[in-house]
Amino acid sequence: MANVVSDKDGTMALVTINRPGKHNAISLEALSELHAAIDDAASDERIRVITITGAGGKAFAAGSDLSEVMDRDLEKALEPIVQGLADKLERTPKPTIAAIDGICMGGGLEVALGCDLRIATPNSKFATPEGKLGIIPGGGATARLPRIVGRAWGMEMLLMGETIDGRKALEIGLVTRLYESEDLLLEAKKMAEHLSSFAPFVPRTMKAMVNFGMEASLSGALMLEKYAQGALVQTKDKEEGISAFLEKRTPDFKGE
């Protein structure tokens, strides 16, 4: 049985971590399959949005497979294992969504942190429990979590290692939308369709600007934003978007 299942539905690629018997714990083999699935979706011109979820309805991903972490030495620890996947999700030009239902902890949370958007169910569970195992996160949580939820809640989650539910995750900005389990993927699909209705340059440029802006000085980010806007105002899609708005019709974007 494949550790990862990838389906393409219209403009959305749905990548499912498929180890429900282990709460979708991410093994090295599963990680390799996730990389391949993301690469495939990113290179497919028909795909505009990539969504990641977990099989079984009980977990997005419980973390890294601890049977493999037990054997990890310093050399292996320095490899960008989960961190590399989160980086890929963050850097791919296409918007990425983490659709979370159930346990989302450790390395699983770090995969979700690499996504642009995170939606969840109220009963989902989030934590960075690595401290209880005598280690710290190694997939990006110490860097990304405080940037997403702020330093105070980032430190709370990282140092205390306690579990929060979906409602608290929504409150602190870890996720932005809550849906019941039976609606989660349907709503992810609606979000993907909404994003796909924009001119193709828009979501990828917006994503690039935010990622650069979070790492750059304010003045540098603002300057690059103006150049990026300057590039987009010269596109045919800009002309189509404004014309369609003034004519009260649906725009027909071509990616030109």
- Segment 148-164, tens digit of pLDDT: 999 999 999 999 999 99
What is the enclosing helix (H) or strand (E) of 115?
A: none
Catalytic residue among 29, 33, 45, 110: 110
- Phi and psi angles of residue 61, each rounded to the nearest 5 degrees, phi first: -165, 130
pLDDT band at 1 (very low <50, low <70, confident <90, very high): confident
Give CA–CA dist 11/192, Å, rounded: 7
Domain ranges of the chain: 4-196, 201-246
Edge-first strand order for the sheet with 125-127 is 59-61, 103-105, 125-127, 164-165
pLDDT band at 68 (very low <50, low <70, confident <90, very high): low
For this structure, is 110 an active site residue? yes
Catalytic residue among 130, 239, 247, 256: 130
The CATH code belonging to domain 201-246 is: 1.10.12
Percentage of the chain surpassing pLDDT 70?
93
The CATH code belonging to domain 4-196 is: 3.90.226.10
C-alpha pair distances (Å), 180 with each of 52, 119, 169, 174, 193: 17, 11, 15, 17, 20
Over residues 121-131, the mean pLDDT reads: 95
What pLDDT does residue 78 have?
42
Edge-first strand order for the sheet with 12-17 is 4-9, 12-17, 49-54, 96-100, 117-120, 177-178
Percentage of the chain surpassing pLDDT 90?
76
Residue for token pair 């890294």: 64
Give CA–CA dist 160/1, Å, rounded: 36
For this structure, is 180 an active site residue? no
pLDDT of 77 above 50: no
pLDDT band at 28 (very low <50, low <70, confident <90, very high): confident
